[in-house]
Amino acid sequence: MKKIAILNGPNLDRLGKREPEIYGSVTLEGLEQALRAEFAAQAQLDFFQSNHEGALIDRIASLADAKFDGLVINGGAFTHTSVALRDALLGAHLPTIEVHISNIYKREDFRHTSLTAPACLAVITGLGLEGYHAAVRFLLKS
């Protein structure tokens, strides 16, 4: 059974409450339940959310040390600002899929650039929460 981690960055703990017209009404807990329900027989899923850059970086290193098979990351705003998060992803050598709930290319110009995307196998953007499911499916096949 593969071990896949799902990391969520700043403000994603506010899913279901923050800008539901962009992010929907499902909470982070609801997303976790849906992913567990779909993939329980195929993967050991590990969930982590933090509003703190250093906590995300520490978690990525611990996942690499624990020999996880893949990572799904929604770095939130850190996607567009954090060289440190990018370096952590590159150094972890984990197959990683970057996910964005909204289509970042239909939003503000500053969201069009992802510093972390070059450290990832692929980027899924604009599929809503289905992007997480697609990312896990892909990692299970690779």
Q: Identify the structural domains of the chain with CATH numbers, from first to last.
A: 6-125 (3.40.50.9100)
CB count within 10 Å of CB 83 equals 10
Q: How much is the pLDDT for 122? A: 98
Give Cα separations from 44 to 33, 71, 94, 104 (angstroms): 13, 12, 16, 29
Which residues are the active-site residues?
A: 23, 100
Convert the pLDDT of each residue in 15-74 to its tens digit: 999 888 888 899 999 999 999 999 999 999 999 999 999 999 999 999 999 999 999 999
